[in-house]
Amino acid sequence: MFAQSDPLIIFLLLLFFHYLADYPWQGDFLSKAKNRLNPIPGVPWYQAMIGHCAIQAGFVGLVTGSVALAAIEFAVHFITDDAKCMNRINYNTDQVIHIACKALWVLVLMAVASAH
């Protein structure tokens, strides 16, 4: 979707969409419903978590053009958010992992581009 080759622009776009999807677009419903320790009654926690992670992965796919990076984002985001909900990591660690992943996706794209 975004025909960008500038790594900084790609990184900034990834951050922009991460913050949109993790804050206003996640909303109170998904934020609470994805927590397996205290889910919203009648809403399977994993469905909410899948929805949230699919949104995050979709943005990674749109920005990078990579289905593989989108799939990895989905898995890492799921594991990270579940660890936060299970109180295995705190909020700050959760955000550091998400931001570090975005930086890693840019490095992967740069490595793939330089290999061609």
Residue 116 pLDDT: 80
Task: Say if CB 38 and CB 32 are below 8 A apart.
Answer: yes
Residue 31: other Cβ atoms inside 10 A: 15
- Quickly tell me which residue has 């677009």 as its tokens: 25
Q: Which residues are CB-contacts of 50 (< 8 A; sequence separation ≥ 6)?
A: 78
Best CA proximity match to 13, nearest among 25, 24, 1: 1
Contact 64, 10 (CB under 8 A): yes
Averaged pLDDT for residues 9-32: 94
Q: What is the pLDDT of residues 46-71, one digit of tens each?
A: 999 999 999 999 999 999 999 999 99
Q: Helix or strand or coil: residue 115? A: helix
Token readout for 110 is 């740069």
- Band of the pLDDT at 2, cuts 50, 70, 90? low
Span 6-33, average pLDDT: 94
